[in-house]
Amino acid sequence: MRYGILTSGGDCAGLNAVIRAIGMYLTRNVKNAELIGIPEGYGGLIRGESFPLKAADFESILDEGGTILKTSRQPFKKMTVPEDGGTRLAKMVANYKKMGLGCLFALGGAGTHKTAALLAMEGCNVIGVPKTIDNDIYGTDVTFGFQTAVEVASEAICRIETTARSHSRIMLVEVMGNKAGWLTLHAGLAAGAHMILIPEIPFSVDAVCDFLAARVRAGERYSMVCVAEGALLASEARFKKEDRAFVRTELGESTVTRHLAEVIGERTGVETRYSVLGYLQRGGAPCAYDRLLCTRMGICAARLAERGHYGVTVALEDDKITFNALADVAGKYKFVDPDGDAVRDARAVGVCFGDRA
Ligand code: F6P
């Protein structure tokens, strides 16, 4: 049988480790398994491109960053819009058949899973594997790539902390995560940040500045503030995301970090700087936790294919590798619970979320 693999959406550490696990399992355990790679995610499937994958391609990629298959973003919204020669969805279904696929592995985030569910509804045998540094895929405790990003971001925050301490400055560190604050929360807690601003807990500038000014009065000469890319003011929270994005774009920026640093500096009188971590968090080798998780998830995906169990995506629940129906998870997100354990524990050790000083 012919199996296709694609990686779609923003990359992260561990994509190659999952490709390797799927490839090694199938080539060793399934008779006549033929593997093909589809380049640049759903882009390659829309265009009908593929190339053969051999056992040698998998062997030394466990700790290689990025994806040997390349990736691209293909907006879900455009999948069913008629264009020249039919919708992108129709082209993918036609190419799935033309390529003679018996199963397609789709490694990706929330958007990739929504498109995977569409393909499954159209009769394609699809199996998802949940990737993203944002950790926001519904139905799995953890996505692969998340822990590596936590390691990278927390190390960066700790490094920036030493310079904040030397200069007695307030430092804002912007961490990726537009909709969900998992990465900022975990990295911030792991690095001992004093303040963590995430999309799930809209903040007030007064509460932020009061907390930081109180630290100065208490003789704390520096402060570390972790700001999620998608952190937002309580006053913005009542607007729709598109309207917020419009106002931000008009102001010439997509995140609040630079402006907030300026206001904090003015209001507290403390020198304030900011750093944006950006793509550092997505690149490079997966950490040991992710190498193990990717291997377990990849093997589970390959076993599901071996049993002919399609229309599902792999998940980790209570440290057990399991799976969910694509139809049950597509279009849903997993957010930080503002009243959950992690936030409660953080508050208990003095972390401020900017909603109250
Ligand atoms: O893949 C997730 C993510 O890194 C988000 O945290 C971030 O908002 C987004 O991707 C950035 O996307 P792009 O690669 O398109 O700049």
Domain regions of the chain by residue span: 2-144+286-329, 146-282
Catalytic annotation, residues: 134
Q: How far is CA 216 from the centre of its chain?
A: 35
Question: 313 — phi, psi (to 5°)?
Answer: -135, 145
Which residues have C-beta atoms less than 6 Å from ligand 1? 10, 73, 132-134, 176-178, 229, 282
Q: Pocket of ligand 1, candidates 131, 133, 281: which has the most ligand atoms within 8 Å of its Cβ, to mutate?
A: 133
Give me the pLDDT at residue 246, please: 66
* Ligand 1: centre distance to CA 2 (Å): 31
Angle at 262 between CA 258 and CA 266, to 5 degrees: 170
Structure letter (DSSP) for residue 185 = H
Hey, do 2-144+286-329 and 146-282 end up sharing a CATH topology, with the first three levels equal?
yes
**CB neighbour class for 54 (10 Å; exposed up to 12, middle 13-18, buried from 19):** exposed
* pTM of the model as a whole: 0.96
Q: Which helix (H) or strand (E) holds 97?
A: helix 88-98
Q: Pocket of ligand 1, candidates 12, 112, 184, 282: which has the most ligand atoms within 8 Å of its Cβ, to mutate?
A: 282
DSSP string, 217-271: HTT---EEEEEETT--BHHHHTS-HHHHHHHHHHTT-SSSHHHHHHHHHHHH-S-
* Ligand 1: centre distance to CA 275 (Å): 17
**Nearest residue by C-alpha to atom 15 in ligand 1:** 10
- CATH number among 3.40.50.450, 1.20.200.10, 3.90.420.10, 3.20.20.370, domain 2-144+286-329: 3.40.50.450
CA atoms of 98 and 92, how far apart (whole Å): 10
Question: 179 — phi, psi (to 5°)?
Answer: -100, -35
3-class state of residue 102 by DSSP:
coil
Contacts with 349 (C-beta within 8 Å, 6 or more apart), sequence order: none
Question: Contacts from 160-169 at CB under 8 Å and sequence distance 24+?
Answer: 160/224, 160/275, 161/191, 161/192, 161/222, 161/224, 164/222, 164/223, 164/224, 165/221, 165/222, 167/222, 167/271, 168/221, 168/222, 168/270, 168/271, 169/222, 169/270, 169/271, 169/272, 169/273
CA atoms of 92 and 81, how far apart (whole Å): 13
Q: Which ligand 1 atom minimizes the distance to the CA of 176?
A: 6
Give me the pLDDT at residue 84, please: 87
* Ligand 1: centre distance to CA 80 (Å): 23
Q: Which ligand 1 atom minimizes the distance to the CA of 282?
A: 4
What superfamily would CATH give domain 146-282?
Answer: Phosphofructokinase domain (3.40.50.460)
Distance from the first to the final alpha carbon of the chain: 60
CA atoms of 179 and 134, how far apart (whole Å): 8
Q: Which ligand 1 atom minimizes the distance to the CA of 177?
A: 6
**Nearest residue by C-alpha to atom 5 in ligand 1:** 177
* Ligand 1: centre distance to CA 177 (Å): 7
3-class state of residue 57 by DSSP:
helix
Give me the pLDDT at residue 164, please: 98
Give me the pLDDT at residue 240, please: 78
**CB neighbour class for 307 (10 Å; exposed up to 12, middle 13-18, buried from 19):** exposed
**Nearest residue by C-alpha to atom 11 in ligand 1:** 10
Q: Pocket of ligand 1, candidates 178, 241, 277: which has the most ligand atoms within 8 Å of its Cβ, to mutate?
A: 178
* Ligand 1: centre distance to CA 31 (Å): 39
* Ligand 1: centre distance to CA 214 (Å): 34
Q: Which ligand 1 atom minimizes the distance to the CA of 109?
A: 1
CA atoms of 8 and 16, how far apart (whole Å): 13
Mean pLDDT by 10 residues, the chain (357 residues): 98 98 97 98 98 95 98 96 94 98 98 98 98 98 98 98 98 97 98 98 97 97 97 88 70 89 97 98 98 98 98 98 98 97 97 92
